[in-house]
């Protein structure tokens, strides 16, 4: 099986975006070689759905995140990281946003921190504190499994926002699924 080999860093132009994602644009020929261990990593599906708006100060309820591992290989224990940014590029403060995750019949508040002009939260295993945003590991991702989270977001100020979710075992150095996003509006 062939794959695309990573280009040398000298041939790479890097661009870093607000969420800490680095894009490498290459201007060189792509060579073919034998597969690496990274090619055997499970390819996970991540989706984010829900209503688009609510009055400011009231929760946008019914936000759903779904993570699917269709492979017969277990993925690395990870955290679900959530980022909210103001689409008008105004800096958000922790006091501007409230995020909750439903565990059983209870809504658990997610501790937030300011990151890159927005706010960030992380979800670990159910029943454990979700305050270790940057710690490695988290919930297990077994083979042939589906994980789902129900969320609600309360936005203090009227405006347009982006909610982005990503799954990473190491604080964003590796993404196990394509990040998913949802546009929200506080009326």
pLDDT digits (tens, 9 = 90+) for 73-116: 888 888 899 999 999 888 999 999 999 999 999 999 999 999 88
Across the chain, mean pLDDT equals 78
In 10 A of CB 12, how many CB atoms? 15
For the record, the structure tokens of 82 come out as 């959530």
Element housing 81 (H / E): strand 75-86
- Domains of the chain in start order, with CATH, are 1-40 (no CATH), 42-186 (2.60.40.10)
Q: Is the pTM of this model over 0.85?
A: no
CA distance 6 to 90: 36
In 10 A of CB 186, how many CB atoms? 21
Do the beta carbons of residue 64 and residue 153 sit within 8 Å?
A: no
Strand pairing report for 53-54 and 75-86: unpaired
pLDDT bin (cut points 50, 70, 90) of residue 171 is: confident
pLDDT bin (cut points 50, 70, 90) of residue 174 is: confident
């Amino acid at each position: 099986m062939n794959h695309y080999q990573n280009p040398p860093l000298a041939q790479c132009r890097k661009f870093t975006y607000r969420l800490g994602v680095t894009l490498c644009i290459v201007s060189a020929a792509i060579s073919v070689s034998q597969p690496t261990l990274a090619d055997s990593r499970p390819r996970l599906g991540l989706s984010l759905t829900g209503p688009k708006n609510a009055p400011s100060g009231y929760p946008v309820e019914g936000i759903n995140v779904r993570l699917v591992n269709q492979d017969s290989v277990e993925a690395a224990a990870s955290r679900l990281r959530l980022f909210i940014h103001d689409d008008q590029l105004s800096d958000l403060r922790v006091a501007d946003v409230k995020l909750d995750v439903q565990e059983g019949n209870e809504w658990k508040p997610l501790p937030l921190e300011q990151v890159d002009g927005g706010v960030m939260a992380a979800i670990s295993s159910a029943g454990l504190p979700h305050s270790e945003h940057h710690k490695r590991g988290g919930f297990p991702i077994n083979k042939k499994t589906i994980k789902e989270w129900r969320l609600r977001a309360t936005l203090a100020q009227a405006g347009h926002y982006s909610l982005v979710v990503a799954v990473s075992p190491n604080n964003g150095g590796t993404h196990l699924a394509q990040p998913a996003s949802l546009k929200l509006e506080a009326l």
